[in-house]
Structure 1
């Protein structure tokens, strides 16, 4: 594996399982079907904490733990899979999460999706300008999950510094510079959000926030069901909520990424963790917070601020 970025159309990508040829083919040729459901996020997979970091924050997490995972993308995938199976956990226990809702921009996911028949769940971190063009003429439904970019920054730093397939940041300060410049995997958070938020008034586009999903999981699951036209009986909804909890996902080898440990990520990394919203306050300096706030106001001022109700 090579610890560097692959650049395509000015956007940095991981160097493994991606290629310029594939990304171009996905954009130009991949056919999105009307019955597909797309799960889109800017990458913010759960923080990988080494033992000394976990020890430092154990007491805080005990006080704030809600029993819900902090890895928003994969939590959303798991939840939608459980909605599709009406709360029956057999599917999520028998097939890896990356095969249930493949990442269209990866070699593995692209090949799987080309062969899948019927309605497909499709995951992606792609910015809107690189997304399959066929989507914009389809009726496919999109769920777009957003999260406080300050927490995205912290999660991204710990994740990417332990990954074996990207250019690794050497310090939090270095990653801060990368993040505000958009030189992180999949590009600028601000551009990603601005691009996809142009779709927010479409009836086939649902915006969710990670914070909302964490604070009131039941209501969020009900909102997803309504959007997808899926009706769950009370006991089925309860089963979804039981089986998408952190503890259950942590113990499920099809969802906890233990199958990839040591292959793409450091052996001593923790792939899933319990987290808290607002965790960025433990890492940002006053100067960084001021720089970030100013940049956020400049970049996002013309978007409805209710989209960004983090606290």
Structure 2
């Protein structure tokens, strides 16, 4: 692990590019408002997609914010360095985002009525997407071979720790009806239906016309063409699009082109073992 690039916090690795001890301290003391909405994802699970969707659901489909404000300021990162700078400029209801496990949340999340949307994605696709991200982003370590990266991923020697630990922490959260679980795959299969569910959960009662408008603007091609969403505003020293685009494919099931049968057997056996005895089941087949 490169200590120049990563810092260790509560046992998990974080990128120094976006986190500091000051930003982590600020997050711990942050006060959630009752109408805040917190988006939670493990990295590469559809975060940027939801950073496009949430503001539109909350503001009734007004496109101004997604066309004029970069996504990292539109739905800012709870523990990130920019959070303290930007959060007070947001109008309520605010959409915020984190990759953190549940046990890292500030006390105010538990005492407020803020709602949480947890987006899950098939861990095999998460790993493939993460592998490509590590090739193009300069502030994370080179992934090595696909096989080497799989070892790191399964052992949690990657940013934000083990996928299974992250999922378990949020599945065991005591948030009751304040948390909604949705999968990348169900949104990919039927985005309008996903939007209706999110809208209902947030009490927004969006019209069918607004749902269709948001669907159109949150398509992969629309987002890829939106400079406020595709990370093209960042310098090449941070992300090298010649190596791989940030918004690479936006599909479900791409893992099938990457895993050998041996790798698949190893991956699924580790994930199964990690989730043994849990009260929830995964929404996808692991094989």
- Same fold (TM > 0.5): yes
Q: CA deviation at 1:137?
A: 1.5
Q: Secondary structure at the match of 1:105?
A: coil
Residue 95 of structure 1 is matched in structure 2 by 69
CA distance in 2, matches of 1:15, 1:161: 17
Q: Secondary structure at the match of 1:13?
A: strand
Could you say what the CA RMSD is over the residues aligned between the two structures, in angstroms? 2.1
Residue 129 of structure 1 is matched in structure 2 by 103
Q: Secondary structure at the match of 2:180?
A: strand
C-alpha spacing 1:146/1:92, structure 2 compared with 1 (3 Å): same
C-alpha spacing 1:201/1:303, structure 2 compared with 1 (3 Å): farther
Compute the TM-score of the two structures, normalised by the length of structure 1: 0.85
CA distance in 2, matches of 1:84, 1:117: 11
**Runs of 4+ displaced beyond 4 Å:** none
Residue 5 of structure 1 is matched in structure 2 by 6
Matches of residues 29-68 of structure 1 in structure 2 within 5 Å? 29-44=29-44
Residue 228 of structure 1 is matched in structure 2 by 202
Within the alignment, does 1:202 sit opposite 2:176 as a pair?
Answer: yes
CA distance in 2, matches of 1:110, 1:209: 30
Residue 247 of structure 2 is matched in structure 1 by 272
Within the alignment, does 1:301 sit opposite 2:283 as a pair?
Answer: no
Residue 22 of structure 1 is matched in structure 2 by 23
Contact 1:211 1:310 in 2 (8 A): no
Contact 1:261 1:267 in 2 (8 A): no
Q: Which has the larger displacement, 214-223 or 266-275?
A: 266-275
Within the alignment, does 1:79 sit opposite 2:80 as a pair?
Answer: no
Matches of residues 113-124 of structure 1 in structure 2 within 5 Å? 113-116=87-90, 118-124=92-98
Residue 190 of structure 1 is matched in structure 2 by 164
Gaps of 5+ in 1: 46-71
Greater share of residues in helix: 1
Contact 1:103 1:110 in 2 (8 A): no
Q: CA deviation at 1:261?
A: 4.5
Compute the TM-score of the two structures, normalised by the length of structure 2: 0.92
Q: CA deviation at 1:173?
A: 1.6
Residue 145 of structure 2 is matched in structure 1 by 171
The number of equivalent residue pairs is: 284
Contact 2:120 2:182 in 1 (8 A): yes
